[in-house]
Amino acid sequence: MTTQQETRPSAATKPVRWAADAVVAMREGARLRLDYSARSLWSVDRMIEDIRQESAPYAAVELVLRGLGAYAGEVIVRQAGGEWWSSGGDHWVRTPDGRLWDPIDEARRCYTHDGSLRLLCRDASGGGPRR
């Protein structure tokens, strides 16, 4: 077993926890039930849009965006059979075709009105154009 293979499970530890925390926070705070389905990302995109429209400073929503991005990553892992990878504190999802996806950064881009977690999942799951 290579060192890289040994560290892969630990790459998932943080983003899986962030995703679970986001699910709880959305259920308790926004009364939004997230079920790790691709369809649920419509609601996540709308939630980020609502936060953006409130003009919340980025520093105030950074952890929420990280959690929602990690949630989207977990959706991709479950829908496309991907796995989490990490390096230097950054986390990505690698799909079986070898492509790397950055759902946490995509959540940040959603906040700047330049991204979509729903479309990222569609693309990563093979339902859309290649990135």
Specify burial of residue 85 (Cβ count, 10 A radius: 0-12, 13-18, 19+).
middle
Mean pLDDT on 18-29: 94
Helix (H) or strand (E) holding 19: helix 3-29
Tokens 């953006």 map to which residue? 52
Confidence label for 1 from pLDDT (cuts 50, 70 and 90): very low
Tell me how far apart the alpha carbons of residues 114 and 127 are, in angstroms, rounded to a whole number. 20
Average pLDDT, the chain: 89
Tens digit of pLDDT for each residue in 33-67? Answer: 999 999 999 999 999 999 999 998 999 999 999 99
Instruction: Give me the domains of the chain, ranges plus CATH numbers.
Output: 3-121 (1.20.120)
- How far, in whole angstroms, is CA 30 from its chain's centroid? 18
The one-character DSSP state at 52 is H
- pTM exceeds cut of 0.85: yes
Confidence label for 106 from pLDDT (cuts 50, 70 and 90): very high
Tell me how far apart the alpha carbons of residues 123 and 20 are, in angstroms, rounded to a whole number. 23
The CB density around residue 36, as the number of other CB atoms within 10 Å, is 15
Sheet holding 83-87, edge to edge: 83-87, 90-94, 100-101
In this prediction, residue 2 carries a pLDDT of 41
